[in-house]
Amino acid sequence: MIQLLTPEGQRMHRREDQQYADIAAELSDEDLRGMYRDLVLIRRIDAEANALQRQGELGIWVSLLGQEAAQVGCGRALRPQDYAFPTYREHGVAWCRGVDPLNLLGLFRGVNHGGWDPNEKNFHLYTIVIGAQALHATGYAMGVNLDGAVATGDPERDTAVIAFFGDGATSQGDVNESFVFAAVHNAPVVFFCQNNQWAISEPNDRQTRIPLYQRARGFGFPGLRVDGNDVLASYAVSKAMLDRARDGQGPSFIEAFTYRMAAHTTSDDPSKYRVSAEVETWKLRDPILRFKAYLAHEGKADAAYFATIDAEADEMATYVRSGCLSMPDPPGTLMFDHVYAEPHAQLAAQRAEFVAYQAGFEGAH
Amino acid sequence: MATTTIAKALNAGLRRAMEADPKVILCGEDIGKLGGVFRVTEGLQKDFGEERVMDSPLAESGIVGTAIGMALRGYRPVVEIQFDGFVYPAFDHIVSQVAKMRSRALGHVQLPMVIRIPVGGGIGAVEHHSESNEAYFAHTAGLRVVAISNPADAYWLIQEAIAADDPVVFYEPKRRYWDKGELDETHRGVPPMSQASVVRTGSDVTVACYGPMVKTCLQAAQAAAEEGTSLEVIDLRSLSPLDLDTVAASVERTGRLVTVHEASGFLGIGAEVAAQVQQRCFYSLEAPVIRVTGYDVPYPPSRIEEDFLPDLDRVLDAVDRSLAY
């Protein structure tokens, strides 16, 4: 497993990880502080959304607690022209792409099914069907190839695509088919698997007999396992594989080894299937504490900086809360409005019936 | 005006669409050198290259799933599903992604893709090669569903489907691929894709059909005419949306409607047409709407498929039953 930081926040210097250490070494102090800020803010956004669900303001929430470093490390390695295809838990990647956190809430509040413009930040809509987005990412990457937007040497043009999924999704046919298509087409796609150890209640051994990253070899491309709670390692490995894709060397697979600290969703009860000792063990590997210790120890940030970020996190929480509470319910006609691009006689007739029916209630009381 | 087959007209239509728009790409199994198992894409890879006419890995979910990604990148993929019964591995992507993505994105993205499916029986094939599964897709909001029956529609509607910004499931009547008909490539003489077409005018009974059954119904109309009964035959062409205006206008004149399709009757296209027509034409109907369909069974072995498939006699039998009211 590729690691650059110990769980205590000490810099590691293993020879086999040197190429990734070199990539991380290119990060400026400002970059490092920015990473820390991302980690703290997205955890705070997540916590606030969780609270909003508990208070009935969201129908459900899918927490990323514990997976911040995997997502922020990877998210920060993406370039503007790259395209990301998330699951429904990639709040940290969304944040790194510049997607307004309020956009993520609509789906969970039930005012839309996503609704943001994916092309604005090259961040696709959340996909709920497990693993389906891996094929969309692969097809998109095949399109990038057709456009000739790889291996031109122009860093503003060469494009990588990234597909996010979890350990459970590796059992899906779609994920395996996407490996086949990506390999055959040498598509510039990185498969980023956050192995958070649990697919709702099913542990890894219900999905696989071998470490997941080893599967890649059978499909004909490299697979790497990185410590997903080490933001520097996640960044460096992601950057290396994204660069590889942009350079025309095709697909790769990253298994970010991490842990889902919270329930699968707010509807889940992990006490029924996992022991608290396991959670306690992973708490000691917390991605934010580790990175904070590193920054402090290396003198990259001081107490005043950490306090600033905490204050900013509180402001962000207020923004998320007030934005959520003021999110209006859409009109009922919304359900008809974006089904087709071109006129559809039956739907138009049904919409008119709906409007007339609703109008019949006006003033009825 | 020239005489050609449905398969050749489709080939010419695909060629013209690819010439008109470099974003049009074809993907599917065996569509390259082989030209597809029905030769619909014959010669296209040679002329447009392996990048635009892609032989896909043998995985239907992968074919449709990656086509979605290519459409998101700005391409117009035209996917060939080799046989009707092989579309089901891709069902999830068609129903959960292709159909819903535009709505999910509140119109910020669209998926201009065509899923071509050779459909129906009557070719003496083994299991899974003779199915009529159009009702699944017509039932799914977000898709357009088209069923062609002749070379002119094949040529013009495949181009219209490719140019459309909505996803289109495009059914090709496989046992009619080699049937001949007139095609004028210089002048579009066919209605828009979303409209039904009255392919034979008549006054006694309206017969609504589509795809491979259009020929059967026209033959039935010819036979009926010889016995003094005048059938009006409507080729529905579009199954989503359904052009009920054309059907209702006809039924208001004839007072009688028979619907015909190969697919099983239960919850099929005929059932929807019947329900809508009785609502719209209640006071014009002289008889109940009668459906002629495949039976509600798995498609049978080929030695008895003729018992399953609606034919001229079953259509005429239904016409007689309608006229008996």
Residues B242 and B268 in one domain: yes
Q: Is B53 on the interface with A (CB under 8 A)?
A: no
What's the domain count of chain B? Answer: 2
Task: Give residue B37's pLDDT.
Answer: 97
Task: Give residue A338's pLDDT.
Answer: 97
Residues B311 and B245 in one domain: yes
Owning domain of residue B214: 197-323
The answer, yes or no, to whether residue B302 has pLDDT greater than 70, is yes
Query: Is the Cβ pair A125, B245 closer than 8 Å?
Result: no
Residues B204 and B248 in one domain: yes
Residue B72 in any domain: the answer is yes
The answer, yes or no, to whether residue B286 has pLDDT greater than 90, is yes
Mean pLDDT throughout A17-27? 97
Mean pLDDT throughout A322-331? 96
Chain A environment of B241 (Cβ under 8 Å): 344-347
Question: What DSSP assignment string belongs to A123-188?
Answer: BPPP--STTHHHHHHHHHHHHHHHHT-SSSS-TTT---EEEEEETGGGGSHHHHHHHHHHHHTT--
| Domain boundary pick from B130, B148, B183 | B183
Give the percent of chain A with pLDDT over 70.
99
Mean pLDDT throughout A255-262? 97
Active site residue A264: yes
| CA distance linking residue A309 with residue A298, whole number of Å | 18
A175 to chain B nearest CA, in Å?
A: 9
pTM of the model: 0.97
Return the H-helix or E-strand segment holding B79.
strand B76-80
φ/ψ bin of B21: left (φ > 0), alpha (ψ from -120 to 50), beta (otherwise): beta
Within 201-240 of B, beta carbons closer than 8 Å to A belong to: 240
Mean pLDDT throughout B134-155? 98
pLDDT category, A362, cuts 50, 70, 90?
confident
pLDDT category, A140, cuts 50, 70, 90?
very high
CATH code, domain carrying B277: 3.40.50.920
Question: Would you state the structure tokens that stand for residue B87, as one six-digit string?
Answer: 């579309």
Active site residue A273: yes
B221 to chain A nearest CA, in Å?
A: 29
Residue B188 in any domain: the answer is no
Residue B55 in any domain: the answer is yes
Residues B30 and B155 in one domain: yes
Within 237-256 of B, beta carbons closer than 8 Å to A belong to: 240-245
Interface with chain B: mutation pick from A103, A111, A140, A335, highest number of B CBs within 10 Å:
A140
| CA distance linking residue B16 with residue B11, whole number of Å | 9
pLDDT category, B304, cuts 50, 70, 90?
very high
In terms of Cα–Cα distance, which of A284, A295, A365 is closest to A39? A295
Residues B67 and B216 in one domain: no
* Cβ atoms B83, A93 nearer than 8 A: no
Mean pLDDT throughout A296-325? 98
Residues B223 and B301 in one domain: yes
Residues B151 and B282 in one domain: no
The answer, yes or no, to whether residue B38 has pLDDT greater than 90, is yes
Chain A environment of B71 (Cβ under 8 Å): 139
Q: What is the distance, to the nearest Å, from the Cα of residue B111 to the centroid of all Cα atoms in its chain?
A: 20
Task: Give residue A364's pLDDT.
Answer: 59
Identity of residue B129: H
The class level of CATH for A15-325 reads: alpha beta
Q: What is the pLDDT of residues A192-238, one digit of tens each?
A: 999 999 999 999 999 999 999 999 999 999 999 999 999 999 999 99
| Domain boundary pick from B159, B183, B207 | B183
The answer, yes or no, to whether residue B149 has pLDDT greater than 90, is yes
The answer, yes or no, to whether residue A365 has pLDDT greater than 60, is no
Q: What is the pLDDT of residues B249-271, one digit of tens each?
A: 999 999 999 999 999 999 999 99
Residue B192 in any domain: the answer is no
List the domain boundaries for chain A: 15-325, 331-365
Chain A environment of B70 (Cβ under 8 Å): 139-140, 142-143, 146
Alpha helix segments (H runs only) across chain A: 18-25, 29-54, 68-77, 91-97, 101-109, 118-121, 132-147, 173-184, 215-219, 231-246, 276-283, 287-297, 303-325, 334-337, 345-359
Residues B205 and B151 in one domain: no
B50 to chain A nearest CA, in Å?
A: 11
Residue B278 in any domain: the answer is yes
A163 to chain B nearest CA, in Å?
A: 11
Residue B191 in any domain: the answer is no
CATH code, domain carrying B83: 3.40.50.970
Chain B environment of A165 (Cβ under 8 Å): none
A204 to chain B nearest CA, in Å?
A: 25
User: Exactly one of A109, A260, A285, A290 is catalytic; which is it?
Assistant: A260
Query: Is the Cβ pair B241, A347 closer than 8 Å?
Result: yes
Interface with chain A: mutation pick from B63, B106, B194, B279, highest number of A CBs within 10 Å:
B106
Residues B254 and B115 in one domain: no
Residue B108 in any domain: the answer is yes
Residue B137 in any domain: the answer is yes
* Cβ atoms B251, B281 nearer than 8 A: yes
B65 CB neighbour count, 10 Å cutoff: 30
Interface with chain A: mutation pick from B48, B103, B143, B247, highest number of A CBs within 10 Å:
B103
User: Exactly one of B93, B129, B139, B187 is catalytic; which is it?
Assistant: B129
| CA distance linking residue A94 with residue A115, whole number of Å | 14
Mean pLDDT throughout B25-40? 98
| Domain boundary pick from B154, B183, B212 | B183
Mean pLDDT throughout A28-55? 98
Summary mean pLDDT of chain B:
98
Residues B227 and B297 in one domain: yes
Q: Is B50 on the interface with A (CB under 8 A)?
A: no
